[in-house]
């Protein structure tokens, strides 16, 4: 079984941003709170599918994870060690399904960070034994859905809620 502290990665995005990626720890709470406070309200709404405000309790949720059913990968800029993105991977409703939600720093969009974080989250989920992965998106979040389709995700509207799109990909 993959242990949380075994998952680290150093990558460069297509936009030339070097990233150091590792699982979150409780020591990251204050830095994650600053990251959340700098996010636009629109980005937070897309990430959490509701209007939320950055708070200590939200930062705690992202950093105090069990590293078994839930993991939060944090991407740090290799140049200045600032947090540029997070990717939450959580056990889905089915035992072979992982759900993923990503938040990229608002001023660093379109540099490949979200694309790389989705790739890392998919690799992590596969290493943990999940066979499928899904992203639940606001149907108006075209940028995220385009990125996910580029990585082979198939989209379908959420039953009973046309404002939500579910994108799923097999990991096998």
% of the chain beyond a pLDDT of 90? 90
pLDDT at 159: 87
pLDDT at 60: 95
Q: What is the mean pLDDT of residues 19-29?
A: 96
Of the candidates 122, 100, 121, 104, the residue with the CA atom closest to the CA atom of residue 113: 104
The model's pLDDT over 61-83, given as tens digits with 9 standing for 90+, comes to 999 999 999 999 999 999 999 99
Q: What is the mean pLDDT of residues 50-56?
A: 93
% of the chain beyond a pLDDT of 70? 97
Query: d(Cα 125, Cα 156) in Å, to the nearest integer?
Result: 21
What's the CATH number of domain 4-131, 2.60.40.10, 3.90.1150.10, 3.40.630.30, 3.30.2130.10?
3.40.630.30
Query: d(Cα 4, Cα 28) in Å, to the nearest integer?
Result: 15
Give the SS3 label for residue 124. helix
1 pLDDT above the threshold of 80: no
The model's pLDDT over 104-155, given as tens digits with 9 standing for 90+, comes to 999 999 999 999 999 999 999 999 999 999 999 999 999 999 999 999 999 9
CA distances to 15, 54, 66, 83, 156 from 71, in Å: 26, 19, 7, 16, 25
Query: d(Cα 17, Cα 77) in Å, to the nearest integer?
Result: 7
5 pLDDT above the threshold of 90: no
pLDDT at 7: 79
Q: What is the mean pLDDT of residues 5-31?
A: 92
Of the candidates 152, 143, 150, the residue with the CA atom closest to the CA atom of residue 170: 152
């Amino acid at each position: 079984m993959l242990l949380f502290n075994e998952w680290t990665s150093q990558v460069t995005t297509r936009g030339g941003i070097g990233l150091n990626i590792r699982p979150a720890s409780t020591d990251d709470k204050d830095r994650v709170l600053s990251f959340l406070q700098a996010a636009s309200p629109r980005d937070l709404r897309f990430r959490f599918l509701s209007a939320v405000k950055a708070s200590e309790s939200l930062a705690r949720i992202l950093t105090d994870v069990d590293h078994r059913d839930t993991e939060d990968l944090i991407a740090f800029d290799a140049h200045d060690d600032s947090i540029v993105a997070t990717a939450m991977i959580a056990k889905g409703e089915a035992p072979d399904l992982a759900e993923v939600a990503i938040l990229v720093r608002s001023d660093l969009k379109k540099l490949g960070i979200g694309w790389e974080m989705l790739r890392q989250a998919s690799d992590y989920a596969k290493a943990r034994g999940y066979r499928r992965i899904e992203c639940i998106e606001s149907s108006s979040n075209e940028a995220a859905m385009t990125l996910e389709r580029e990585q082979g995700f198939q989209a379908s509207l959420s039953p009973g809620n046309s404002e939500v799109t579910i994108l799923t990909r097999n990991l096998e």
